[in-house]
Chains A and B, each alone.
Chain A
């Protein structure tokens, strides 16, 4: 956590040398956070994957409104968090597929990641493929989808992280969403 904060502070002061470490650090951080949560929550209160990202963020910046607005590092943070969450979920989906519990009696393991899509490993992998296609064609829209879908940001938050207007973000989202759904149909 300290290291993440350090990198984010560096970013805020314009130093991007360590930005590459952000992803692996967040990956571990999110996993640990999830494991810790699972241990303490009651079984009927499972966690939401995307809520984890938000919680990780709050742990770094605190509830201080001012630091919340440091959107320079914020964008980096959520970008890296979305990517970390994407990898976690995709790894998970692949592991599920590898288990080949195919056929009618398909049983899906819940595991740690309570992302709404975690129970649809096949669709998730298809989406991921479509997303990388979109990324080649239009990286900003792909990033927007990642932020929305994997990190659970609202349109406004994602717009802020990407430094675009909310109206643009809404239009981008509408198009990217339809485009991806057609792609994976």
Chain B
């Protein structure tokens, strides 16, 4: 009987149908051998094994690529037009059924060409019905025999990328916008036919000249989908040997982190990146930023990095600004001015990470840009108050020059109200509609502010508006309906402010909770939780569980309050554990169950019961209650509780997985970032911890706790100067105590800032005269500055204070000082 190898090789010579019979015969009844051979033959037929990755790869040498003169199906390759990450483009001659010139794009090897062709076929019908002068048609797609390379045939477009075209022609901003609007209309046409482009970037928006006018063609529709490109580790690096989707233009949802499907708003995002580039000459995420980034970093950048406003970017491009302006046939100041305002807001709206906040369609984006060109107010906008007026003034420049208008304008400024377009109009309208307009604006601002409850900016605006509404009510009471609406608004504003206060207070406490952990601070914290809850109407010391249940049901934000109650209970248990006032198991159970009745969500209930130990800690119990849908719907706080719950059942892998997931979902949540950083510190990963603490300080620059923690992380990482700076920042927000100042003094001393160190130590001393370390630092700093008399005084004071346990090194220093003094006197 032949060997396995020889039967295998012989079978390969046969057709697929004959193999089976041959193998059975050759194995001569040896079941094991024939089973094995079938396995091998199956493996042979499967082209998706790991070794096949190398098979199609070669060295990427040019001889393995088809070249000029080559025939592919009915096409003959002519000139090579270009090469990109995806592959090579040729100009080709179609020989039949009709003779024409086409562009033929050959995809680099390494993709599953069958799947590519199948996906292409699936969309072919839709592609065929697209008929727009600014869209290049895709005619055909297939795979080159044997080499597994997909190719696409499309309308031959000889143009250059839109960005280059605009620069080459020194097109002013307005003309750029017009050209861009054409692109939008074309993409919108495709969207209406159900086709999403998925890979909009300058090299796919080509411009040629026709009769002296620019002619736009959007190419490559349907190709990105066929190639199924997402920002996965495969597409970014390996399979094609080059990144397919260009990450600068890729929407967050395309970056593959969120797992949601791509829709037309993804094209809105990419188009806006293109707009950004047309305006500023750079993409929001600069190409240099991505240069050294790995896959994960790219994902993070795409998902988290907020874009800088285009006008800001222009201002920052100091060196190139001259060229940028020149390329737009304008002066530097005018360029910035053109972009500032509307174009800023439109761009920022298109670049929203959350697609629900972008323009719903490409057409809307185009319409807003059209409004800019027509000097009309745009949909996108900041909560800026002067906005409407400027717009109005520009549009009505002639009319405004008239005396009446100027008087109105002066009046508006004099009354000190907002320079709002509405005010000009309002002066001519009756008081009621004036209040109505205020209300409109105020209500919109309220919605925006409520969504962004922890940011200062929308709330400042809202505060101003509410004052305005308040004073309007005071002056006119003629229309009861409007007045009622105004009171209504004020009531809602008050409630929302309470929510905000509550949330902010909670955040600060949560930060304190992750850092300070002795009985005394726990007690302090417990009191604060009680105070916050009390302000909200929950007196935890007197309310019965039933009361709490009932009250929670009526609360506007029951989940937020449950959060606070949970935290309060957790601190309460901590105190009891640390030997403070005890809390019985029965009471804990009572609170836990009351919360579970008020908030019966199975996952949250399970977390609660695990953390408070009312069930036996048990992984299965916890995992059973956690479904993936729940996870993605869960708010930041609950995810962090869940991680703690997993830590309690000793599943730390799952816990850190949850934490990472939580951060990916709520990248801007202060407490999540803070907790994660604190965890990293515990794991001695100070370098990373610094990054996350920095993020906290960026998210909430006024949180002293975050600066404090950042300072400690820096210090532990050996960056004492940075540590000092951060701690000083923390002190500006919240004066430190003696211990904190001593810490600062120590760092300053260690980094050679002697006078500063002494100053801080003196502050510490004044706060707590018994603080020995502060005295040491004062002495040391004098000593290092060679002021031995002063040093001696400080050290002696130290030893006197220390009294019973004088410090040896201080004694050493004292004698050193004395020697120096003696030596100088000897001279």
Contact = CB atoms under 8 A, between A and B. Distances in A.
Contacts of B236: 46, 110
Interface of B: 5, 8-9, 12, 36, 39-41, 43-44, 46, 49-51, 53-55, 57-61, 85, 110, 233-234, 236-239, 241-243, 246-247, 287, 290-296, 299, 628, 653-654, 657, 660-661, 664
Interface in A93-139: 100-105, 107-111, 114-120, 123-124, 127
Nearest to A52: B59
Contacts of A184: 50
Nearest to B9: A171
Contact of B50 (A42, A54, A108, A120): A120
Nearest to A180: B51
A27 interface: no
B58 A154 contact: yes
B76 to A, nearest CB: 26
Of B36, B46, B242, the most chain A CB neighbours within 10 A belong to: B242
Interface of A: 38, 42-48, 50-51, 54, 100-105, 107-111, 114-120, 123-124, 127, 145, 148-150, 152, 154, 171, 174-175, 177-182, 184-185
Given A50-B59, A103-B653, A181-B43, 16 more contacts: A43-B291, A44-B243, A44-B247, A48-B57, A50-B57, A100-B653, A101-B660, A105-B657, A114-B241, A116-B53, A123-B50, A124-B50, A175-B5, A175-B9, A177-B49, A180-B49
A185 B657 CA distance: 28
A38 B237 CA distance: 12
Given A43-B293, A54-B61, A148 B246 contact: no
A152 B85 contact: no
B44 A177 contact: yes
A178 B243 contact: no
Contacts of A107: 233, 295-296, 299
B40 A178 contact: yes
Given A43-B243, A116-B238, A108 B233 contact: yes
Given A105-B661, A116-B54, A152-B58, A110 B233 contact: yes
A177 to B, nearest CB: 5
A149 to B, nearest CB: 4
Q: Is the interface of B mostly helix, strand, loop or mixed?
A: helix
A105 B55 CA distance: 30
Contacts of A114: 237-238, 241
Contact of A116 (B239, B299, B628): B239
A173 to B, nearest CB: 9
A102 B49 contact: no
Of A46, A154, A171, the most chain B CB neighbours within 10 A belong to: A46
Of B39, B241, B246, B664, the most chain A CB neighbours within 10 A belong to: B241
Given A154-B58, A181-B43, A149 B238 contact: no
Given A45-B85, A105-B664, A119 B54 contact: no
Contacts of A154: 58
A185 B38 CA distance: 14
Contacts of A47: 241
Nearest to A147: B54
Contact of B657 (A43, A102, A123, A179): A102
A185 B85 CA distance: 32
Contacts of A127: 50-51
A124 to B, nearest CB: 7
B234 A46 contact: no
A166 to B, nearest CB: 15
A104 B657 CA distance: 9
Contacts of B238: 114-119
Contacts of B292: 38, 43
Contacts of A54: 59, 61
A149 B85 contact: no
16 contacts: A38-B292, A46-B241, A46-B242, A47-B241, A50-B59, A54-B59, A105-B660, A107-B295, A114-B238, A116-B57, A116-B238, A119-B234, A145-B51, A149-B54, A152-B54, A184-B50
Contacts of B58: 50, 152, 154
Nearest to B236: A110
A178 B54 contact: no
A156 B406 CA distance: 86
A44 B5 contact: no
B242 A182 contact: no
Nearest to A183: B43
A174 B51 contact: no
A182 B293 contact: no
A148 to B, nearest CB: 6
Nearest to A102: B653
Contacts of B57: 48, 50, 116, 152
Contacts of B110: 116
Given A43-B243, A43-B287, A174-B9, A109 B294 contact: yes
A34 to B, nearest CB: 13
A124 B49 CA distance: 11
Contacts of A116: 53-54, 57, 110, 238-239
Nearest to B299: A107
A85 B678 CA distance: 39
Contacts of B654: 103
Given A120-B50, A174-B44, A110 B295 contact: yes
B43 A44 contact: no
A110 B9 contact: no
Given A51-B59, A108-B233, A178-B40, A148 B54 contact: yes
